[in-house]
Each structure stands twice: as C-alpha cells, then as structure tokens.
Amino acid sequence: MFLKSDPQTTPAPLILASTSAYRRVLLERLRLPFACVAPGIDESRRPGEPPLDLALRLALAKARHVAMQHPNAWVIGSDQVAVLETHAPNAEILGKPGTPAKCIAQLQASSGRQLAFLTAVAVVRGVDAREYTFLDTTRVQFRKLDAATIERYVALEAPLDCAGGVMSEGLGVSLFEWVESRDPSGLIGLPLIQLAGVLREVGYRLP
C-alpha cells in the first residue's frame, strides 16, 4: 500500500526497490510518501566485472525490474559494494558477509587499510523509459584492529547484512580513523544529496 500523498507534492507514486531497513529509514528523511518493493534479482558478480560496473548494473536492474511491475511510478534502485583496491582489475569486493565467521574475516582484511564504499543509484520510470543514475564514493580508513576487537564488535552489532561487514551508522564508526565523503548518507547506502536533486528534477517538491 502506498502512503496517502498530496498530488501537488508527488507527481507519481514513489517506490524504493529494496527491503533494506537502512535505506528505508534514510529515504524517510525526505518526507515523501513511498512504498518498498523487493526487487528479487540475481545480485551475483559477473566474471571479471569491475566494482563500479557491478554497482551500477545492479542498481539499474533493481529499479528496472520493479518499474516493469509499476510503470507509472518512479522507482529508486541502489547497490553498494566495498572494495579494498578501487582501481585494480582484480579488485577485492567485500560484500555482505552473511555469517559471523565471514564478517570477522572481512574485518581482518580491512584492518589498517582504506576501503572505498561505492554506492550506485538509479531512478527509473517505466512508462516513458526515463532513467537517471549516479554514483557516490566514500573512502574509509580502518584503524588497526586486533582479533579481540573484531570479535567483540561482531558479537555486539552483528552487521552480517552490511557491505564490508561494518555498520557505519552504529558502533562500526568506532573502527575508523577517518571517513572522506561528499554525502554522509552515502556510506549507509542511499546518498540523499544527489537523490534529492534527481527527485526535484522529476517533479517532487522538496525544500
């Protein structure tokens, strides 16, 4: 069900092609009515696919898939990957760990190193095949993490569904030395500054 909306402020229904609680909470900050729909796509990486290409492809695939079901709505798709070597052809991607053991292994690999969190966003409407895409890059320097620190963090926060195995909006921020970003919401998974600009361009009323 869509939330009740004012036609003067929302030109079309708005859908977030995600079931992520983190992205939902971020989008709620814009105070626009929207619905969440699971995109239900295969998120596997293609052989040799660069991280940037992967993030953009999946963001578009999510938005397009839901837009086919709701052609009159504007659909937001987003995908984030964390990489240890941004420009290397064989860049190591740290996805959602899924298990405590994998989460611990990812954080051990990140200890004392810089990661780039690449967040791609696509805004799509099926009825007229309009598409907007953009990419946000946030760089993070991890401090040196010993085994006890990593195990304690994973036990306390269980960030098993977070790229790189770290929940930056929570206790995960204590693992960093610094964060370099143009948009603090990008690291959480939905860069609101650029997204707000796109939504204004397609007709939504925002301050």
Task: At 70, list the tokens.
Answer: 């709701």
- The catalytic position among 6, 42, 53, 79 is 79
Residue 79 annotated to the active site? yes
DSSP code string of 49-76: --HHHHHHHHHHHHHHHHHHHSTTSEEE
At residue 23, the 3 state secondary structure works out as helix
Residue 170 CB coordination number (10 Å)? 15
Q: Which of 73, 163, 66, 48 is nearest to 127 (CA)?
A: 73
Nearest CA to 33 out of 58, 66, 6, 57 is that of 6
In DSSP terms, 94 is beta-bridged to 82
Q: Could you list the active site residues?
A: 79
